[in-house]
Chains A and B, each alone.
Chain A
Amino acid sequence: MSKDNKTPDDLINQLCGDLEASAPRCPYRRISIWLILSIVYIVGVINYLGLKVDIEDHLTNASFLFEMGLASALFISAALASSWLSFPDCIQRDWMKTISVTLFGTFLFWIVANGIEEGDFSFYKHFAMPSCSRGLLVEAFPFLALLFMTAKGNTTQPYWAMTMNVMAVSALGWVGLRLTCSMYDSMTYGFIHYLLPFCILGAAVGFFARKIFKW
């Protein structure tokens, strides 16, 4: 479809000729499918990798359960916000972004506060530790699927859409890795090896958000 050398009337006639009946797109339908498939995928990955050795202790720890709840809420809210951002008039639902950003801020605060409480908040020490390389397995496929889905939409806020995608998948990855990785049970380690690489990768891909979400 092109407007080259066309008068407005010619263009309108062409657009009318190309019109096909299309049901209004539901913002929740596709994202619900993605949410369900992502949960199934992560359960499959957890089953494949095996739960961490001291998982039973963790599941009785209120702090760990809160952390999992917070990450899951971030996963769901950011995915829903991302879905809404695929609609041109997403600006009318800016509060969805606000919720996700607030949850992400709380999540970061929780990580930092716990890291300080653990008394082990040394970036360099944890950075030098061997990485739990399962992150890519946990996060790559859901991210690509979400990216593909958002790219099929018509967003007018590409950078926000990418931010929400990264937040949703980071939170999903956090849950998956916290449940499986037995390498080192520290929030600082988790931050550096579970969250940070994906956020940096997401930010790098985010530079191309305008091209990826072009429509």
Chain B
Amino acid sequence: MAKSDADQWQEWAGQAQQGDKRAYAQLLKAIHPYIQNVVYKSLSQTDAAEDIAQEVLISIHKSLSTYAPERPFKPWLMSIINFRKMDYLRKYYSQRQDKTSTTEENPEFMAENVTNPSHAGELKDIEDALSEFPKKQQDIFRKIKIEGYTALEVANQMDMNESAVKVSAHRTMKKLQGILK
């Protein structure tokens, strides 16, 4: 009767403990896909899954002497897989990597916060129109409407009255709307 995988692994592990490198290579090659399978099933990131699979192989190497050949091999292997997987997940969550994502994964964020390249022409029109205004008026408008300063801050920076700054920014806005219609 053919041996099951688990029986075969158990035998190879026993031989590996006696220094049989060939049996050890067979064991590691046979269990690597199994480890990958187990890890892939519970993780979405394939890169991380391969990393964990390799960590598991190293851990098996370090703890080979803790395996007793008369005991089943799979529970021993599964303990190491779960330990390494949990280790990875603990680091993953402690570094809050679950809270980060790329802009490609998050189109709503893109739409709200990132300038759409197709609107670049409109921005250039505004800049062109704004360049027609006196330098001081341009500065006030840029600081308040683009850079986000308050009227009081701009007034202090430019040594002006706060109301005068507000009026200047409002007038520039109205004129720009008229030019760009």
Size bin of chain A's contact surface: 20 to 34
In-complex Cβ contact of A88 among B24, B61, B79 (8 A): B79
Contact segment of B65-73, B112-120, B141-149, B168-176: B65-73
Q: Considering the chains assembled together, what is the distance between the CA atoms of A45 and B68 in angstroms?
A: 37
Partner of A24, one of B51, B59, B65: B65
In chain B, what residue has the closest Cβ to A24?
B68
What's the nearest-Cβ distance from chain B to residue A207, in Å?
A: 14
Q: Within 8 Å of chain A (Cβ to Cβ): is B155?
A: no
Q: Are B63 and A154 in contact (CB under 8 A)?
A: yes
Q: How far is the CB of A86 from chain B (nearest CB, A)?
A: 7
Please, how many residues of chain B have a CB less than 8 angstroms from a CB on the other chain?
34
Smallest CB separation, B85 vs chain A (Å): 11
A16 to B61, CA, bound (A): 9
**A24-B69 contact in complex given A12-B32, A88-B83, C-beta closer than 8 Å:** yes
Interface 0/1 of A84-100, CB less than 8 Å to B = 00111111100000000
The answer to whether B57 has its CB under 8 Å from any CB of chain A is yes
Per DSSP, are chain A's interface residues mostly helix, strand or loop, or mixed?
loop
Also in contact, A12 and B28, with CB within 8 A (given A22-B17, A92-B75, A156-B82) = yes
**B58 on interface, CB distance cutoff 8 Å:** yes
Q: Which of A6, A88, A91 contacts B66 (CB 8 A)?
A: A88
Tell me, in angstroms, the Cα distance from A1 to B28 when the chains sit together.
16
Q: List 15 A-B contacts (CB under 8 A).
A: A1-B62, A3-B55, A16-B25, A19-B19, A19-B24, A22-B65, A23-B17, A24-B17, A24-B65, A88-B66, A90-B79, A91-B75, A153-B66, A215-B62, A215-B63
- Since A8-B54, A88-B66 are in contact, a sample of 19 more A-B pairs with Cβ atoms closer than 8 Å, ordered by chain A residue number, is A3-B51, A3-B57, A12-B29, A12-B57, A15-B28, A15-B58, A16-B21, A16-B25, A19-B61, A20-B19, A22-B64, A24-B17, A25-B65, A88-B63, A88-B80, A90-B79, A154-B63, A156-B79, A156-B80
- Taking Cβ atoms with an 8 Å cutoff, the residues of B that contact A are 16-19, 21, 24-25, 28-29, 32, 50-51, 53-55, 57-59, 61-69, 71, 75-76, 79-80, 82-83
